[in-house]
């Protein structure tokens, strides 16, 4: 069976190459899922955080009959930015090759594909659900004392759904992101100071 032999040789080569560049199974990066945060060139990462914050805030205020005072907004935004700061990365070569966009696809629950011509930031996550859960938990902290008529679980669920919906406007998946040849030459840059 020459086809099977060829297939096994290809697999050995791929596994050998992966081991050579440090992608062993015990490497935490191996288990991470990479999402591209696609942003219009006219927006910075701060603008994205502000956009997400304002949309989720609107949903929360609407859901809880405006129980939330505006003075809580600043802390709400700060918590969201802190979560993004822990997970978002930028690299010097992101978006410089067709492979960055050609194989990108939107998330299943999103109707419109994010801006594929804009800047690319990277979110390396264990799971998207875990990231959304962290956003909901952290952003709920400054709001909890104002939510007298709503259960905390209801508030957490509302925030989760709002974050999932709003993040869909920006997130894409790309199977080649981080593994393409160009990615090997890409250096990390500060996503808050630079516009990739």
DSSP letter, residue 106: E
pLDDT (tens digit per residue) in 18-66: 333 333 333 444 457 889 888 888 889 999 999 999 999 999 888 876 6
pLDDT (tens digit per residue) in 168-181: 888 888 888 888 88
Map residue 120 onto helix, strand or coil. Answer: strand
Question: pTM for the complete prediction?
Answer: 0.78
Which tokens in the block code for residue 124? Answer: 């390396």
CA 84 to CA 145: how far, in whole Å?
24
Residues 6+ apart with CB under 8 A from 78: none
Q: What is the average pLDDT value for the chain, to the nearest integer? A: 79
Residues 6+ apart with CB under 8 A from 192: 45, 46, 85
């Amino acid at each position: 069976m020459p086809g099977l032999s060829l297939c096994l040789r290809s697999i050995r080569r791929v596994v050998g190459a992966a081991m050579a560049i440090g992608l062993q199974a015990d490497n935490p990066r191996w288990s991470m899922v990479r999402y591209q945060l696609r942003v219009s060139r006219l927006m910075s990462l701060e603008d994205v955080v502000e956009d997400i914050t304002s949309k989720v805030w609107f949903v929360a205020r609407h859901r809880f009959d405006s129980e939330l005072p505006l003075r809580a907004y600043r802390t709400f935004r700060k918590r969201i930015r802190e979560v993004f700061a822990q997970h978002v990365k930028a690299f010097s070569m992101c978006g410089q090759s067709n492979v960055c966009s050609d194989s990108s696809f939107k998330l299943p629950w999103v109707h419109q594909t994010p801006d594929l011509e804009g800047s690319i930031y990277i979110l390396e996550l264990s799971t998207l659900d875990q990231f959304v859960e962290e956003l909901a938990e952290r952003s709920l902290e400054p709001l909890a004392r104002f939510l007298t008529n709503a259960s905390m679980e209801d508030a957490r669920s509302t925030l989760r759904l709002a974050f999932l919906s709003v993040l869909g406007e920006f997130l894409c998946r790309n199977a080649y992101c981080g593994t393409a040849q160009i990615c090997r030459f890409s250096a990390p840059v500060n996503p808050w100071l630079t516009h990739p």
